[in-house]
Amino acid sequence: MFKEFLDLGRHPIANAFLQKEEDFKDEFLFDLKVGLDTDTKLVSIKNFVEPERIFNQDYPYNTSNSFPMIEHFRKTAGMLYNEYGNETCYRVLEIGSNSGTFIENFSKVDSVCVEPCGNFAEITEGMGYKTYVDFWTTELAEKILSNDGYRDLIYAANCICHIHDLDDTFRAVKKLLSPSGIFVFEDPSLLRIIERGSYDQIYDEHPHIFSVTALNNLLRRNGLQIFRVDNLSVHGGSNRIYACHTDSCLVGDSVRYNLQEESVFGISNFETYEIFAERVFNSKKKLVKLFEDLKSDGKKIMSIGATAKSTTVFNYCGIDNSIIDVITDTTIDKQNTYSPGAHIPVVSPDKVNMIDYDYAYLGAWNFKDVIINKQREFVESGGKFITHVPQVMMFS
């Protein structure tokens, strides 16, 4: 049974940046409500947005724009190759290959990409990787099986939690995975989100927020089994899940440890989510009050990182251009646009003189250290940062 616990109000598509002011009136909005499935323990949003509205030719999030993520994928690929690879048998498939930052570490001959966003599929095709421009389904898995054969490694980063029908997703993996193959995927951790109050990880692109507990239930009923879990620091705390065909591998201690940690934390108890919802509401009240106080003192505020996360914060908290003058982002496709829903101008960092501002809100708080390092002059001239994770605060 789906039990709702959080109502974040009306929201736009988190990455649908608007090209011009005339586009504001036609903006698509939906009710962003969140609940727990009391049977599987899966946390999901209530109203799924059709994936074609989100993942299409105009999808702007490009992993290549975040140096820490390029490094993360290089290291991940190296680790997987060293620990599970074999020179004679390593047929890879990446679901949601974006701009190719993971797959570029693997052979062009044996690797296959799946990417529904045409703009990114073109990039991996151009790099020499066979790319299916499609959504991940059992139908597609059957097609790949007949064209390209079984896969020894199926990998997906920040992608599986984007897919509505998880049973179909896992059945599709089961079909295509070689008998001794592994399915490795990483997504934000529900436990870390609740712990850190980072409700901004909830938006249209994330119809599900995964706990290891829920994944264990869902994978099992589709003939797959988790055998290892790595806790990662990326994106504010993610889990990398390793799964195999049921009974084809030994279940490691990390699985028991994570399930136990989540159980002690209360991940299956509805009360945990009611407390989280209360915390989210208080976070909004504090952030809005802080911004209002700063504005009434005549302070100038900008924001760094036009993230999907900041779309959630700005729309939930009703923060617009009267509070935040401008957002900077290093992604070319987001520059010279307006942020979804809040309609704050987004520009290249070169267009903003940081020392003209008193405060910088961290839309990309997950890259806090990298960003702060680049902003020494801002801090030396008295500038301060604002974040809401793990709590609403200012710091320099």
Contact positions toward ligand DWN, by CB under 6 A?
Answer: 61, 65-66, 158, 205, 235, 304-309, 328-331, 334, 364, 366-367, 370-371, 374
Shortest distance in whole angstroms from residue 330 CB to ligand DWN:
4
- Identify which of residues 65 and 105 has a Cβ nearer to ligand DWN in the complex: 65
* Whole-angstrom distance, CA of residue 227 vs CA of residue 18: 43
Structure tokens at 271: 């009360």
- Identify which of residues 118 and 223 has a Cβ nearer to ligand DWN in the complex: 118
Shortest distance in whole angstroms from residue 290 CB to ligand DWN:
21
Residue in this structure with the two tokens 């987004």, named with its chain if needed = 346
- Identify which of residues 228 and 309 has a Cβ nearer to ligand DWN in the complex: 309
* Whole-angstrom distance, CA of residue 36 vs CA of residue 269: 9
Helix H or strand E segment including 314: helix 308-317
- Identify which of residues 191 and 202 has a Cβ nearer to ligand DWN in the complex: 202
CB crowding 83-103: b at 16 or more within 10 Å, else e: eebeeeebbbbbbbbbbbbbb
Shortest distance in whole angstroms from residue 379 CB to ligand DWN:
15
Instruction: Answer whether 384's CB lies under 8 Å from 358's CB.
Output: yes
Q: Which residues contact 356 (CB under 8 A, 6 or more apart)?
A: 300
Shortest distance in whole angstroms from residue 62 CB to ligand DWN:
8
Shortest distance in whole angstroms from residue 348 CB to ligand DWN:
9
Q: What is the CB-side half-sphere exposure of residue 282 using CA atoms within 13 A?
A: 10
- Identify which of residues 66 and 258 has a Cβ nearer to ligand DWN in the complex: 66
- Identify which of residues 331 and 337 has a Cβ nearer to ligand DWN in the complex: 331
303, 366, 364, 311: which is closest to 17 by C-alpha?
A: 311
Shortest distance in whole angstroms from residue 54 CB to ligand DWN:
9
Amino acid at 255: V
